[in-house]
Amino acid sequence: MESSVSFSTYILPACLPSQDLAERVLHLNGTMTVVTGWGRDKEGTVPYSSDLKHIKVPLMEQSRCAQHMVNNLTENMLCAGSIGSITDACKGDSGGPMMTLYRNTWFLIGLVSWGEGCGHTDKLGIYTKVSNYLEWIDSVKKQTL
């Protein structure tokens, strides 16, 4: 990075999991995650949030998730949410973190990516699976040192 990071109420570190920990523990169906963002509160609202918001959503296995989605899912994606719930990331949240707490440590496991609308009770949220990009992240980190 060109400059140091100053931690604050809105800027805090989260750990990157190993590929093994992510696949064996953190990505399990039902794992509760926390997603934060400054996006819209619901689909169709004009203003973005002036407050950092968070939601809690459980991971859902891909095969079950795919039954509720029109677009295809890949192995680079995580699916989260609950059918029947309106809890979802929305426009303006893209790129925001999806984290889970494991043994008193917060791990970054996903990034808000896309959904088919937001807050629909019959749809789920799709997140970039960070563990599939760990080698790339490490290569970029090495270039900046």
Domains of the chain, first to last: 19-144 (2.40.10.10)
Q: What pLDDT does 9 receive?
A: 82
Q: What pLDDT does 145 receive?
A: 64
pLDDT for 75-94, tens place per residue?
Answer: 999 999 999 999 999 999 99
CA distance 12 to 35: 14
User: Is the pLDDT confidence value at 131 over 80?
Assistant: yes
User: Is the pLDDT confidence value at 41 over 80?
Assistant: yes
Alpha helix ranges (H) inside the chain: 19-21, 62-66, 134-144
3-class secondary-structure state, position 15: strand
User: Is the pLDDT confidence value at 1 over 60?
Assistant: no
Average per-residue pLDDT in the chain?
Answer: 93
Task: Retrieve residue 67's tokens.
Answer: 């039954």
Question: pTM for this one?
Answer: 0.92
